[in-house]
Chains A and B, each alone.
Chain A
């Protein structure tokens, strides 16, 4: 449980989890939402994976991430969001970030 709290303590990681609530996303799609370097994002993904909150799956050359949260962990995330535990997201919405859903549906059709 310590790993879960550690993972949820960071606003960027919480934002990743919130984005993944919409459905599986590739590492690139997720990284588009954050103004940080790829190694930093990889470190965040690694922490989330160690806590068992997300699952990574490689399809072709792309790594897809998706939620692997229990109901309790989901409730904790919502709690953190509602209480606003320093939820100032570092997200930087890019104009093409909204195309992610289309990209995902294309992925689903391929799959």
Chain B
């Protein structure tokens, strides 16, 4: 029997922990019921997505043969769920810590969330160059490969910069720097998309 990767246990464990934290927050601060209700709705949605993955793509866990299409989308969705859970969990745990007066920094939750978003960008960008289109479907394979590498690197560096900014800079400076760094990364990628499209049109 194949050993399941850690991520299969990690996602349900994070979900349960988040549910417990949401309940604890609701109990301690009933005045903010609206906010806790939103997090519960989010958790229900994530739970449904986890159940869908469990029943729709059980092959990955059992080590059985699977349809190639299933094998492609399942890890991406699982990773997305995991990051969403991390965001909810970090927010709920900081709120709980503030309510219990364990943590005094009101910006801690925001910082944690931005660092997690940075990590998500890094992980997503890391895999971009591994996404391959069949060669016969490509008009200019070397250019597409160069584009994918560029986008991957840009995304990873943007995520790294975002995480570093929110880890080390003061909040005011981090806010303004984020508005400089993230749009710059997106602009660079956008410019490369336009360049690639023009080159492909010229080649056609």
Q: Is A51 an interface position by the 8 A CB rule?
A: no
Q: Is B149 an interface position by the 8 A CB rule?
A: yes
Q: Is A22 an interface position by the 8 A CB rule?
A: yes
Interface of chain A, helix or strand or loop or mixed?
mixed
B139: chain A residues at CB < 8 Å are: 108, 111
Which residues of B, 60-89, contact A by the 8 Å Cβ criterion?
none
A69 x B130 contact (CB < 8 A): yes
Stretch at the interface among A2-10, A31-39, A60-68: A60-68
Stretch at the interface among A70-78, A80-88, A90-98: A70-78
Q: Which residue of A lies closest to B155 (CB)?
A: A71
**How many residues on A have C-beta within 8 angstroms of the other chain's C-beta atoms?**
21
CA distance A111 to B144 in the complex (A): 14
- Give 1 or 0 for each of B144-156: 1 = CB within 8 Å of chain A CB: 0110010011001
Q: Is A44 an interface position by the 8 A CB rule?
A: no
CA distance A94 to B125 in the complex (A): 37
Q: Is B175 an interface position by the 8 A CB rule?
A: no
Interface of B with A (CB < 8 Å)?
Answer: 125-130, 132, 134-136, 138-143, 145-146, 149, 152-153, 156, 203
List 23 A-B pairs, Cβ < 8 Å: A21-B149, A23-B141, A23-B145, A23-B146, A24-B135, A59-B136, A66-B135, A66-B145, A68-B130, A68-B132, A69-B129, A69-B130, A70-B152, A71-B126, A71-B156, A74-B129, A104-B142, A107-B141, A108-B139, A108-B140, A111-B136, A111-B138, A111-B141
